Structure 1
Amino acid sequence: MRTTPDRIRHAISFEIIGLVIVTPLGASAFDTPLDVIGVVAIVSASIATAWNYLYNLLFDHAMLRLVGSLRKTIPIRVLHAVLFEGGLLIVLMPFIAWYLGVSWLDALLVDVSFAAFYLLYAFVFNWAYDVVFPLPPRNSESGPDDHGYGDRQSADRAGS
């Protein structure tokens, strides 16, 4: 499992590199000044980070209440991803439409474009990050299970 400093390095480098790439691409693709798209990108990244925290907290609580476990099957992972992106779309569209002074349809296009970029970027970034900063050897006694959650069932049974 990654250490807290490693997770912080990962999150900060993900956001900074992503903004450095997406801002000029967005400015070019939408024929919008770099500083304007930069504000949209920075605010969107900030909102996405906060939404990520809140959404995952709520989703985990809902899973514990409805399923009794935090183990995610593939269908649950698909639902998790779709609901996350749908919620983020709903949260970001009003800001994008207002700040850029565009229609809801244009805001949807910008929002979906940013989401598509970050989907591809996250795949490439995380792969590259794992190559540059490989995971430490797994400790069989306290390491995460195949899903990266640790032994949550044992923790749940122990009342943690």
Structure 2
Amino acid sequence: MGRLERIFHAITFEVLAVSLSIIGLAIFTDHNIHHLSGTMIVVATIAMIWNVVFNWVFDKFVPGQKEKRTLKTRINHVLLFEAGLLFFTVPVMAFILKVGLWEAFVMDIGVTIFITIYAFVFNLTYDHLRAYIVAKRSPMLAN
């Protein structure tokens, strides 16, 4: 996956994730939708940067065809990614929403649980769609 595709992947992932996260937080918290939107845009920006860096490093340690990754590898990928992201986003959420670290942590855990499931489904779907498109465009490259 080249640099431009990594950027496309990250942006597509984050636009969907932000939209769905704002809706979820608005339903389950008393925070203003405008504050949640701003917070999630900042969190998404952090996540996009982390996504590119983390996936680049992960791919160096776990080479090969992505569509052939095992369930264990995919679960480890998602858990490591989300744990690293929590480290950066909890303080940011606490600061922007003017809540304590514990409340920010609980909110972020809720988002993280959702995003973990979402990331698994998104990446599995993306990898298989990508492999299908590559195979259709260049049958010789698919083998």
TM-score between both structures, scaled by the size of structure 1:
0.64
Q: Distance in 1 between the 2:63 and 2:99 partners?
A: 40
Alignment of 1:70-149 (within 5 A): 70-71=63-64, 73-122=70-119, 135-136=132-133, 138=135, 139-143=138-142
Structure 2 residue matching 1:31: 3-state secondary structure: coil
Q: Distance in 1 between the 2:130 and 2:56 partners?
A: 27
* Alpha-carbon contact 2:134-2:142 (below 8 Å) kept: no
Kindly report structure 1 stretches of 4+ aligned residues shifted beyond 6 Å: 126-130
The alignment's C-alpha RMSD in Å is 3.7
Structure 1 counterpart of 2:52, one-letter code = Y
Q: Which has the larger radius of gyration?
A: 1
Q: Residue 37 of structure 1 aligns with which residue?
A: 36
Q: Distance in 1 between the 2:141 and 2:124 partners?
A: 24
Q: Distance in 2 between the 1:127 and 1:58 partners?
A: 18
Q: Residue 25 of structure 1 aligns with which residue?
A: 24
Unaligned runs of 5+ in 1: 64-68, 145-160
Q: Residue 51 of structure 1 aligns with which residue?
A: 50
Structure 2 residue matching 1:37: 3-state secondary structure: helix
* Alpha-carbon contact 2:78-2:119 (below 8 Å) kept: no
Query: What percent of counterpart residues are identical?
Result: 32
- Structure number with higher helix proportion: 2
Structure 1 counterpart of 2:42, one-letter code = V
Q: Distance in 2 between the 1:93 and 1:122 partners?
A: 19
* CA deviation map 1:83-140 (0-9, x unaligned): 111111111111112212222221111111112222344466678889x999436144
Structure 1 residue matching 2:105: 3-state secondary structure: helix
* Alpha-carbon contact 2:10-2:51 (below 8 Å) kept: no
User: What is the aligned residue count?
Assistant: 136
Structure 1 residue matching 2:142: 3-state secondary structure: coil
